[in-house]
Amino acid sequence: MAVRVPSMELNRSPPLLSGGRGKTCLQKPFIVQAKRSGGLEKANTRPQGPQASEKLKKREPLTRGTVSAPLPVPGHIPRPPYVGSNKMPEISSERQMQDKETIVHMKAACELAARVLENAGKLVKPSVTTDEIDKAVHKMIIDAGAYPSPLGYGGFPKSVCTSVNECMCHGIPDSRELKDGDIINIDVTVYLNGFHGDTSKTFFCGEVDEASKRLVKVTEECMLRGIAACKHGVSFKKIGRRISEHAEKHGFGVVEQFVGHGVGRVFHSQPIIYHQRNNMPGQMVEGQTFTIEPILTMGSSSIECDMWEDGWTAVTTDGSLAAQFEHTILITRTGAEILTKC
């Protein structure tokens, strides 16, 4: 589940720090303040890419369905500290480090999240509602004795995020039926034995056009290239450079407003992981756990987003498709271990 930051390319008003429900992507929850940095100009020179000439299946704009009541969680299941308050938690300054004992719990949470995500993906087919997916995910998580981390986070009303077509992320499950040709990102986070495991994947619904398939394929490749850049002592900014290079090569835009984050006992913490070119300081340290979760869009001009009135659903301003993949990783001396690999 991504953290939101202001655009690093545009000069805009500062965001609301908690509970904001604005109409643009820059005034909303999940906020950390990012400073404008140099070395980013190249990101605005992306070619349109071959997808501009590929035939896209016609889609109606995404509309909100009816959102059902939050699902109950048995009383014996431990809750994260933020549950019970609609206030948006602050981004923790703690850089979460794992030792031999805590990594066992961290791996268990991540493995559960990965299994739930794969099973949720099997439900994706035309006529299925995202609310049905939410119910299935909720049951899988609580049956495992875990808590669905999104539920109650800053007032989020559901147990999973389901982001369809032009929705970049944080889509709220509702009564809308999936349609043939849709793409949908399912973002699962579980809280098990005091640790969060966070992962997401974009799935195809029915017969999907080639341009959409290519967007999804390149997005996953970008995430994996970002992960491949990681190991002890490497600068965090290398992640954004690797992702941007691959996205630009294929003519896709990298969304700047949503970033990866530290994860462990705390849902969202430092370090903040930027997926675009940046000059942010900091180096990876063995034992750190964090997410890499790039969002790509069709073309370089479609990385801006609008916020729905629910304060969560972020959609591309121009209606272009968006895709996202996410893994939680552990930094090692020689590389990075993917903890949410099923």
Closest Cα partner for 79 from 149, 157, 168? Answer: 149
Residue 41 makes CB contacts below 8 A (sequence gap 6+) with: none
- Please give the tally of structural domains in the chain: 1
Indicate the annotated binding residues. 170, 187, 198, 261, 268, 293, 326
Q: Establish if 164 belongs to a structural domain.
A: yes
Higher pLDDT, 5 or 185: 185
CATH code of the domain containing 185: 3.90.230.10
Report whether pLDDT(52) > 80. no
Domain boundaries, position 282: 92-338
pLDDT of residue 58: 75
Cβ burial 117-142 (10 Å sphere, 16+ → b, else e): beebbebbeeeebbbebbbbbbebbb
**Mean local confidence (pLDDT), 247-266:** 96
DSSP 326: B
Task: Report the predicted TM-score, pTM, of the whole model to 2 decimal places.
Answer: 0.87
3-state DSSP assignment of residue 169: strand
pLDDT level of residue 56 (50, 70, 90 thresholds): low
pLDDT tens across 184-217, in order?
999 999 999 999 999 999 999 999 999 999 999 9
- Do 276 and 256 meet the contact criterion of CB atoms below 8 Å apart? yes
**Mean local confidence (pLDDT), 262-288:** 97
The neighbouring-strand residues paired with 163 are 185
* Neighbour tally for 242: CB within 10 Å: 22
Encoded tokens for 282? 């900091």
First and final CA of the chain: distance in angstroms? 18
* Percentage of residues of the chain with pLDDT beyond 90: 80
Q: Establish if 37 belongs to a structural domain.
A: no
Kindly state the helix (H) or strand (E) to which residue 329 belongs, with its residue range: strand 327-331
Q: Establish if 54 belongs to a structural domain.
A: no
Q: Establish if 40 belongs to a structural domain.
A: no
Indicate the annotated binding residues for a divalent metal cation. 187, 198, 261, 293, 326
Q: Establish if 10 belongs to a structural domain.
A: no
Q: How far apart are CA 214 and CA 218, in angstroms?
A: 6
